[in-house]
Amino acid sequence: MTGPFEFIVYGILLIALVLSFLPKKQFGQAAFIASGLAFAGFVAVSTFGTPRGPLVPGALLALILPFVTFFRMEYPKPNNWRRKTLFGGYIVLTSLLAAVAVILPLSFPVFEPPAPSGQYGVGYTRTVLTDDERLDIVTGTARELPVQVWYPATVGADATPLPFVPDVDQGGHLMGDNLGLPLEFFDYLADMKGHSYGNAPVAPLTAGRGRFPVLVFNHGFGSIGAQNVLLMEHLASHGYVVFSIEHPHQNAWVRLNAGKSASFNPVGFQFDELTPEKTAELEAILVRLVTAPDYAAHLQELQTFMKAQESFATGLKLWLDDTDFVLDRLQAETIGAFDPLYASMDVANLGVFGMSYGGAAAGMLCLEDARCKAGINMDGMQFGEHDMKFALKSPFMLMNSDGNLFLEPPHSGKATKFKVNEFVYRQAVGPIYSLTVADAKHMNYSDFAFLMPVAQHLGMFGPVDARAMNDVMNDYVLAFFDRYLKGEGAPLLDRTVAGEGAILEFTHRNVGEGTLAQSGQLKEGE
């Protein structure tokens, strides 16, 4: 329920419902007229608007009310106990239906995605690669890797944008499979347009700018490659070619070749069952980790946490191999679907980034692969086979959720003493940045707060405003890559910030002006 017309229709519907509860002699005719208007409104929404699953309860109520109100006017019956009981049941059931009818559209809204701010239009295409030298651990066949790309494009005035989530079924599976709702419930995603255009011509290069740097993104475990479309479009509009790698069976759902698909099935990761007791135990470790009395105690808690999820450390090798395969193919220019891009992109000028588990993949790749010129870990525990030794040489940024939200009761206004990836920040040899967003939880580092705001009430998101969070990600990710891949000034990165707007804390080391430690190492216990 996002448009003004839908608000009006729902308002009339609720008025009709309340009138139907009142004495029929005074309000019966008004209730019938209002219910007829509400029914007509839902017909109009279905005909001219965006009919969708979340509107079904409201439409059902709009269908019921005209019959009930007409029946009450035309067929009066004695006011006996049976009639009173029946009417009481009607009030209870329709009130519950009305609550569901209002909550669902607000929980799964049709929204206008924020537009990217760069000078370029945004093109989009997708392909599925096959690595014949590796077998998928689930299917036993050659590993397939879907890859999406957003790139600077020339977009015609009459071009039609793609849906916000380019593969509508993927978005439906992501939300429906997690919430127990049918795929058809999310058909409306097809009508919710983004700012990307399928197979649009690549923007021409301009004098003095050179070719477009390349970015490679890895999604979160159990998520999808299009989990950060707003950020992808923003970066592409500012002159980056942004590839997003899908990791089948470790993401929610993805379309493969020959009509096949892959659902979440993390065979080979050997997870322990995450019982409520186990979850509480891990959360308790996180609290001790961010509030430890000194760095040594923090490291001990961190190692305990990582050991409890050791499969994440060993399993990351699969994602690194996936990323390595895609990078090799991009460098060799052997992906036919991306032929129009090769002349315009500079794959040697490479940045890698990711969210959650994908952020850990970015960190490990930058630690081990010289092709990484700059990288960002968006709130991912830095898993990997690194034995807590992490002397990053390439510029890197850590983006953190608010550790205060681990605490009970949660409090804001001051950053926690330690971040979950403190050891990465302290050991970095090259430029390193640490950004913490106030009131942000882990999943705020995605577009999902826009797609299903209801999940905030289920504890998935923190109270930070979705658009403010999006602005922070757009501004800082772009500034970081502009500085280290384009050589631009990016003055946003030169400050250290505490408690400014949505930023709880922004610090950096080894970057000259404004650094916290010129030596490249912090003292033990600081």
84 and 224 co-located in one domain = no
Q: What is the 3-state secondary structure (H, E, C) of 205-222?
A: CCCCCCCEEEEEEECCCC
Closest CA to 399 of 365, 429, 444: 444
Residue 262 and residue 328 in one domain: yes
Residue 519 has pLDDT above 70, yes or no: no
For residue 14, the tally of other CB atoms under 10 A from its CB is 17
Q: Could you tell me the pLDDT band of residue 412, with boundaries at 50, 70 and 90?
A: low
**Residue 194 placed within a domain:** no
pLDDT at 524: 38
Cα end-to-end distance, the chain, whole Å: 50
- Secondary structure (3-state) at 292: coil
Same-domain status, 136 and 64: no
pLDDT at residue number 78: 57
199: in domain: no
Domain match, 178 and 276 both: yes
51 and 169 inside one domain: no
- Output b/e per residue, 37-47; b: 16+ Cβ within 10 A: bbbebbeebee
- Structural domain span for residue 273: 121-189+211-509
CATH of the domain at 152: 3.40.50.1820
Residue 284 DSSP SS3: helix
Position 452 in a domain = yes
* Cα Rg, the chain, nearest whole Å: 26
Residue 2 — very low, low, confident or very high, per pLDDT cuts 50/70/90? low
Pick the last residue of a domain from 107, 142, 168.
107
Please check whether residues 244 and 302 belong to one and the same domain: yes
Contact (Cβ atoms closer than 8 angstroms) between residue 129 and residue 338: no
DSSP secondary structure code for residue 370 in this structure: T
The Cα–Cα gap between 444 and 441 comes to 5
Q: Do the domain assignments include residue 525?
A: no
Classify 255 as helix, strand or coil.
strand
Q: Which residues contact 411 (CB under 8 A, 6 or more apart)?
A: 404
Domain annotation covers residue 455: yes
169 and 267, same domain (yes or no):
yes
Secondary structure, 3-state, 43-108: HHHHHHCCCCHHHHHHHHHHHHHHHHHHHHHHCCCCCCHHHHHHHHHHHHHHHHHHHHHHHHHHHC
Cα dihedral angle (56, 58, 64, 67), rounded to 10 degrees?
A: -120
Judgement on whether residues 54 and 167 belong to the same structural domain of the protein: no
The structure tokens listed for 350 are: 């490479």
- Asked if residue 476 belongs to a domain, the reply is yes
Beta bridge partners of 360: none
389 HSE (CA, 13 A, CB side): 4
In this structure, is residue 195 part of a structural domain?
no
Two tokens, residue 256: 């493969």
The pLDDT tens digits for 308-326 are 888 999 999 999 999 999 9
DSSP category for residue 184: G
Choice between 179 and 284, residue whose per-residue pLDDT is larger: 284
CB atoms within 10 A of CB 80: 9
Beta bridge partners of 346: 213
- Specify whether the CB–CB gap between 278 and 272 falls below 8 A: yes
pLDDT digits 0-9 by tens, 205-253: 988 789 999 999 999 999 999 999 999 999 999 999 999 999 999 999 9
**Is residue 324 assigned to a domain?**
yes
pTM for this one? 0.90
Q: Could you report the per-residue pLDDT of 42-65, keeping only the tens digit for each?
A: 999 878 877 788 999 999 999 999
Q: Which residues of 119-131 are buried (b: 16+ CB within 10 A; e: fewer)?
A: ebbbbbbbebbeb
For residue 458, the one-letter residue type is L
Do 76 and 167 belong to one domain?
no
Q: Are residues 320 and 371 in the same domain?
A: yes
50 and 185 part of one domain: no
Minimum mean pLDDT among 45-49, 144-148, 152-156, 520-524: which range? 520-524
- 8 Å CB contact between 221 and 356: yes
How many domains does the structure of the chain reveal? 2
The rounded Cα 150 to chain-centroid distance in angstroms is 16
* Same-domain pairing of 363 and 217: yes
